[in-house]
Structure 1
Amino acid sequence: MAPFNAPQPTFEAPDRSPAQSASSVGPNGRRPIETVSVVGLGYVGLPTAALLASRGLKVIGVDLKAEAVARINEGRAHIAEPDLDMILSAVVQAGRLEACSSPKPADAFLIAVPTPINRDKKADMRAVESALASVAPVLKRGDLIVIESTSPVGTTERAAAQLRRLRPDLTFPDHAPEQSDILVAYCPERILPGQTLRELVDNARIIGGLDHASALRAREVYAHFAMGQMMLATSREAECAKLAENAFRDVNIAYANELSILCEGMGVDPWAVIRMANLHPRVNILSPGPGVGGHCIPIDPWFLHQAMPEETPLIAAARSVNDGKPQRVANRVQKLAKRFREPAIAVLGLAYKPNVDDLRESPAVEIARILADRHVGRLLVAEPNIARLPDELAGRPDVALVDCAAAVAEADLVVILVAHSKFRMIDRAALASRVVVDTVGLLQPDAN
């Protein structure tokens, strides 16, 4: 990763005027934004595309997955998100949104592709670089590019440099601030799967421009649907703020997870300890769990650590605690399973968080995989939000996807890995005769 440069000045964000409308002429007399291309139609890109289209813009969605493109053009979402199908069907039928496999000309391009980490815990930016390369041929003077993908600090600058190499006929803000042909900004998403549409509208947004004109222009796009505060910043400030948010959460979750390990080792109920400790007016310990999942918190802190490894031991330690929790849970289950000759183990939940179908970086999937690899027993997996097992578990003779009631009825040992709402209806009497490992506090008195 490129070294940090001198800090950029923070932009002053002018107040949003009620008279400001999405159809008004933009900064520097630029034409109104009428067509937006969203590159990457996943958990962030598709809801964003649907919202923009629902506000009257023409939206071109781009995704490499042919199945996803086909479903979207039928007005059906390929991801589970409340109310998304309803909005998507309406905007597709109205001709406001179309999906395709390669970019077409537009006034603004939003890049919302994954940014995973490599085995060495460094950012894998190939998807972002590929997305930028794909839009370069269709860029024209006056266009805007916004990166939403969570990225290391300095990514937006490197994006402009990449585009400048691909399109030497155009000028970009890093070389021609306030007077470039193409505007470039960074605006990270801040959404919670399962509540994405509401949070896209209500949550505050950070809009980081490579120059002030880029930030203002990007704000025009989000003003079509965003009701929360929109704070203008430099691209580096916006990139760092997004990483700081998730690193903060990771560190706090790590403390809760480490505390739960400590309590269990001392024979103390961690949930009772946390409830009592949180009675202090200045203490708010989070809930422990089987680990940390999703495409943000397990990934993003590494981007900060990658930038300055020697200066971020706390971030690295938190990642180690949270990454190690699935192994600890699996070890505990394996030890308990030895009580039975041929143990049947109910594994309740595979998603990374309650009430979604998202399995990305899920500690529950990791725990189930470890147990299956070790042949600890017959695994009866209950995950109400999926129709088939993930690749890590599919095709194994000792792993079956069943409903929750069947899993509990057959099990000797019940392992609760996700606090799905449907699991709260489990027959507590049925659990009384089973060995139970509740990693998420679903059975705690205050859990309902």
Structure 2
Amino acid sequence: MIKMPHPGLRVRIAATIACIVVAAVAILTLTVHFLVVQNRINQQRDAADANLVAAMGIYRSTGLRAFDSQLNDPQVPAGLRNALTTDGSHGTNVSGRGTRDLWAAGRVGDDLISIHTTFQAVDASVAAVDRALLFAGIGTAVAATIGGALTANSLSRRLRLAARTARDIAATAGSPRVAGQPETAERTLRAAVGAGEDEVGDLADAVDAMAARLAARLRAEQRFTADVAHDLRTPLTGLVTAATLLDDSRPAQMVRNRVDALTELVEELLEVARLDSGVETAQLAYAQIPQIVHRAVQRGVAKGEFTADAVVVCSDDSAVAVLTDPRRLERVLSNLIRNALQHGQPPVRIEATGDRIVVTDQGRGFSPEFLATGPQRFQRSSASRGQQRGTGGHGLGLIIALGQTAVLGGRLHFDNAPEGGARVTIDLPGAPPGRALQPDPSAAGIGE
């Protein structure tokens, strides 16, 4: 069954106005029609009654019948006959629908004088009035519909602008900023809908106030993250130094492991703070994506982060060069691979073609909640994927990957592969055609 799209607000407003106007015009036309018909009937009654009174006078004085009157006609309606009981009384009776029968009768002594005529209730004059009302009604309905459509279109346009602006603000409000990117707080619904003092303006002001409060709260949380990371760095430096002076016993090794984990957390917090502040800038160079992917995997294996058989790379070695920051892209890939191995199942498959990289694990995939909200700070991907086993990390790996991809001008997309497993796609801006490949730096990745 095909589901029809719901009509927009402007269509519904215009249709409502058109229906109301058509109903009002129809009621008015019928009312005027009945009034004109009734007025014609009254005119015929008055004319017949006047002729009857004249005929009664002539008959009383001369005994002659005038105006085609009849004397004691048995076809006079019984109701009219019974109503005329006294000398000089007279009245009229109208019956029928299209063609009306008009009887006018009066009592002169013991005799009943009557005049019978027929007439069309809707004659040429009434039909002319009906046509004029019909044309005027159609014109009024068309004009009202056009006016309603224009008014509804103006209202709908303002609401669409407000909705589009609200979606844009919502899409970028929680994203890391890139150096030189404008603050989202500068974009307001009031500016989108205009300065009109109406319900749409009131709604825009209310949403702007809510967005301002949420933005202020978000900035406060970002400042708190940065302040905590900086304040922890000084005592952590002393703790690292002290841990190096311990012996090689198992308790000392456990202390050093915890210190290393705390050091990694502080470094991740500092990196998130830098991404939030928008100070990160990409060092762009032309490079081939497959080469960056292979280098990132080799570096992870060399550092002992994962084994060589835990990652499978499928690449197109004939891919063209793209303009990117190789070291920053390696950092993104490293985070995605570690996250996939911690919260999914090996082997992790990496497909590198052109300006796109797809990382897929063999786990249970992302949960609907994760796909709806995206990565959140200090929420581990294991919880997002519905797995119960304990895993390492602090829930910042995907946040950092998201922010670093934004610095590169790319986009990170999370979904589940059709055959199963979580899938993360990196889309990078492509390089202009015809540019020669430039050597890229091969130094260690950022934040490592």
TM-score, normalised to structure 2, is: 0.24
Larger radius of gyration between Structure 1 and Structure 2: 2
Structure having the higher helix fraction is 2
